[in-house]
Amino acid sequence: MTQDQEAVRGAFWADEEASLLSPDRAHVIRDSKTPSGSVPISGLRGPIITDALYRTFKKHRLDVRYVFTIDDYDPMDSASMKQKAGMAEQMGKPLCAIPSPDPSASDFARYHAERYLATFAVLGIRPQEIHWMRELYRSGQLDTQIDLALRNAAKIREIYERIANVRHSDRWLPVAVICENCGRLGTTEAYDYDGKTVAYDCRPDFVEWAEGCGHTGRRSPFKGGAKLYWNLQWCAMWDHFHVTYEEGGKDLLTEGGSRDRSNAIYREVWKKDPPFGLIHEFLNVGGKKMSTSRPDEWKALGAEAHEFVKIYPPYLIRFLMLRTHPKRHIDFDPTGNNLPKLWDEYDRCGDAYLVDRETDLAKTWSLSQVEEEHGAPGWRVRFSIVADWLQIPSVEPLREAEERKGEPLTPAEGDELRRRIALAKVWLERWAPDEAKFSVRPTMPDVTLSPQQRRYLAAVREVVGKITEPEAMQNELYEVAKRVGLVNDDGKPSRDAFASIYLAFLGKPNGPKAGWLIATLDPEFVRRRLDEASDAMAHA
Ligand SMILES: [Zn+2]
């Protein structure tokens, strides 16, 4: 491909992002998560994109560090949580100060953060550093950032009004103080910074989602005494970790939204250039936008992140998130034939990797692998065929695969097959369409066959046991149709030919590849069934 053609086609999206970063300096790519409850699979799109970018930046020989923060000093503000038993009392407290729903963790934030981070390990997402906001605040590491924000409160108020049309009172300060009486920070209003302390009121009516205790006091905002509001905390993170790249979801990064405010504040208060970072689109499941405020809905779809990684192979989840450009939205729906299509696309990208590793498809396949250093794709069986195999009790998939391959599977190929078998079982049980499901009837189904179809089945009977290879059998089934004249006007075998086989064995007019079905089932059984179908039904 010439350079011109390359330019017309456009670079792979991750390479495009890498080209924004100067090779002459050190880079930090950052991502974060607020552990406020269960995470839907849409919450994995950002981290998988960030990880793919991190890997790509390294391939471009950029000096890059990957930092992840757990925003566990945020107040509990989730409306759905408020409905849960005992949670109303916790509203407005820092997530790290709320009891864990389960004795396995020390607190609410750790419980949810650890479940979320466990999915990272499975998916091959490996930040070099994970920081907890409670530790950054309490250790005083962010004190200079807090002081800077408080001294520039007037300028920050002006930026909020200019960029987002949000007006704060003239005494408003950009911190949430932790109330010394009730421990909440979502309910306090801070004012009057004297360089060491701020005054605050813990107000019952400050926010709708939590009720303050009415306490009024004065305390140091440092060493964990207060938390920066979200836009300011963002700037503090960029400065503290020297962040040069941070992507984010569309909800936060739209015009006039959070990111624009933070960018302006970073330029005007911190006097620094904000990081680069693309905006990724939403991921919908079953046509519905995943909203963390309606967890019951996505739980029903099997779309909780920590459940999702138990059902799907990790490389297929990475592939699902990476095969679509981050700027386009993803519609994920496991029903119908969508899963077999997703697997076929994955295999197509694997094939591309075998031919030329510099194509977009090959790069997508490579970035979908759990291990950064990985081999080429091995021999594999199409997902839809694995699903067919599972529906015939006499078929042992591993043996069937080795017969097809003509030699034993490598350990990696065996693992791959087992992954496909496991997901195909779930798919058949929960999501597969009726036409993908079948069972070989133990006795002749009550179906009507035409005289021509019966002649066809009688002729097929003659080759059973003589041809054992599925592809050869498939060809022979075509030839037999021509021989008995079961053809269309153009001379090609009629649909009625294959339909008669499915009717005789499955009791319905469609099914898996007929050649495979005939070659795979026990020859004695097949001959007996074909005898019955071609003969007995003649008198029906
Ligand atoms: Zn209070």
- Residues 274-301 have pLDDT tens digits of 999 998 998 888 766 665 546 666 665 6
Q: How many angstroms is it from 205 CA to the middle of ligand 1?
A: 12
Does the pLDDT at position 536 exceed 80? Answer: no
The one-letter code for the residue type at 405 is K
pTM of the predicted model as reported, rounded to 2 decimal places: 0.88
Q: How many angstroms is it from 184 CA to the middle of ligand 1?
A: 6
Percentage of the residues of the chain whose pLDDT score is greater than 90: 77
- pLDDT one-digit tens code per residue, 249-275: 887 655 557 888 999 999 999 999 999
**What does the DSSP assignment read for 403-467?**
HHHTSPPPHHHHHHHHHHHHHHHHHHHHT--GGG-----SS-------HHHHHHHHHHHTTBTTB
- pLDDT one-digit tens code per residue, 162-188: 998 899 999 999 999 999 999 999 999
Q: How many angstroms is it from 82 CA to the middle of ligand 1?
A: 18
The pLDDT value given to residue 85 = 79
Using only C-alpha atoms, the chain has a radius of gyration, in whole angstroms, of: 31
Q: How many angstroms is it from 157 CA to the middle of ligand 1?
A: 25
Q: How many angstroms is it from 193 CA to the middle of ligand 1?
A: 19
Q: How far apart are CA 493 and CA 452, in angstroms?
A: 12
- pLDDT one-digit tens code per residue, 54-68: 999 999 999 999 999
The one-letter code for the residue type at 431 is W
At 7, is the pLDDT very low, low, confident or very high (cuts 50, 70, 90)? Answer: very low
- pLDDT one-digit tens code per residue, 294-347: 666 666 566 788 888 999 999 999 999 999 999 999 988 888 889 999 999 999
Does the pLDDT at position 538 exceed 50? Answer: no
Of 279 and 18, the one with more pLDDT: 18
Q: How many angstroms is it from 226 CA to the middle of ligand 1?
A: 13
Query: How many of the other CB atoms lie within 10 Å of CB of 487?
Result: 16
Does the pLDDT at position 3 exceed 50? Answer: no
Q: Which residue has the tokens 């996505």?
A: 298
Q: How many angstroms is it from 144 CA to the middle of ligand 1?
A: 26
Q: How many angstroms is it from 303 CA to the middle of ligand 1?
A: 37
The pLDDT value given to residue 298 = 63
The pLDDT value given to residue 4 = 42
Q: How many angstroms is it from 225 CA to the middle of ligand 1?
A: 13
Q: How many angstroms is it from 200 CA to the middle of ligand 1?
A: 10
Over residues 419-432, the mean pLDDT reads 94
Q: How many angstroms is it from 121 CA to the middle of ligand 1?
A: 39
Half-sphere exposure of 323 (CA within 13 A, CB side): 22
**What does the DSSP assignment read for 6-58?**
HHHH---HHHHHHTTS-TTS-EEEEEEE--SS--BGGGGHHHHHHHHHHHHHH
Q: How many angstroms is it from 298 CA to the middle of ligand 1?
A: 34
Percentage of the residues of the chain whose pLDDT score is greater than 70: 93
Per DSSP, the three-state class of 133 is helix
Query: How many of the other CB atoms lie within 10 Å of CB of 213?
Result: 15
Q: How many angstroms is it from 73 CA to the middle of ligand 1?
A: 16
At 1, is the pLDDT very low, low, confident or very high (cuts 50, 70, 90)? Answer: very low
Over residues 98-124, the mean pLDDT reads 94
The pLDDT value given to residue 274 = 97
Residues 6+ apart with CB under 8 A from 319: 342, 345, 346, 349, 364, 365, 368
At 227, is the pLDDT very low, low, confident or very high (cuts 50, 70, 90)? Answer: very high
Q: How many angstroms is it from 196 CA to the middle of ligand 1?
A: 21
Q: How many angstroms is it from 233 CA to the middle of ligand 1?
A: 22
Q: How many angstroms is it from 234 CA to the middle of ligand 1?
A: 26
Residue 334: burial class (beta carbons within 10 Å; 0-12, 13-18, 19+): buried
Q: How many angstroms is it from 148 CA to the middle of ligand 1?
A: 26
Does the pLDDT at position 224 exceed 60? Answer: yes
Q: How many angstroms is it from 123 CA to the middle of ligand 1?
A: 41
The closest alpha carbon to 39, from 133, 144, 118, belongs to 118
Q: How many angstroms is it from 202 CA to the middle of ligand 1?
A: 5
Residue 426: burial class (beta carbons within 10 Å; 0-12, 13-18, 19+): middle
What residue ranges in 107-215 does DSSP mark as E strands? Answer: 129-132, 175-177, 188-191, 198-202
Q: How far apart are CA 34 and CA 29, in angstroms?
A: 18
Query: How many of the other CB atoms lie within 10 Å of CB of 186?
Result: 23
The pLDDT value given to residue 282 = 86
Q: How many angstroms is it from 433 CA to the middle of ligand 1?
A: 55
Q: How many angstroms is it from 346 CA to the middle of ligand 1?
A: 54
